[in-house]
Amino acid sequence: MASAALANVPGTPPGIDADAALVNGMVIDKDSRKPLKDVNVTAVMQSKKEKTVSTDSNGNFHFIMLKPGTYRLVFEKEGYKKVVKDKVEVKEKMPVKVNVEMFEFVPISDRGPSAWHFFES
């Protein structure tokens, strides 16, 4: 029965163990609403990096066989502001879905002239 429950979770890879601790989700661009490819997603438990995966071309990521516990998920992609999700509870046989929106990071120099030039003599 647990296998059927996991098999019905959208985005879950086929053939996973029924006792697997599973975290999956999707990462999208906040403005365009489009999926983000190649976002590095790191699972950290008690200040120790457990595993890192990357999103696919549809923005999906999957952690399979994580140890049960409380995790911090860190989402990083060049050109985007880092996103951190704290207190993600992972339990055996209970899939967890974490969806994230990321903001594109625009360096100050790319935003146009600053107001500081009014104060320069």
User: Domain residue spans in the chain?
Assistant: 2-106
- The series of mean pLDDT values per 10 residues for the chain, 121 residues long, is 39 55 94 97 89 97 91 97 96 92 80 54 50
What is the domain class of 2-106 according to CATH? mainly beta
Residue from 40, 23, 117 nearest 79 by CA = 40
- Strands 60-64, 96-97: pairing kind: unpaired
The pLDDT assigned to 81 comes to 96
Strands (E), 10-114: 22-29, 40-45, 48-54, 60-64, 69-76, 83-90, 96-97, 100-102
The pLDDT assigned to 64 comes to 87
Residue whose structure tokens are 């146009």 = 112
The pLDDT assigned to 106 comes to 75
The pLDDT assigned to 80 comes to 97
Residue from 53, 63, 57 nearest 36 by CA = 57
The pLDDT assigned to 120 comes to 54
Instruction: Please count the CA atoms within 13 angstroms of the CA of 37 that sit on its side-chain side.
Output: 3
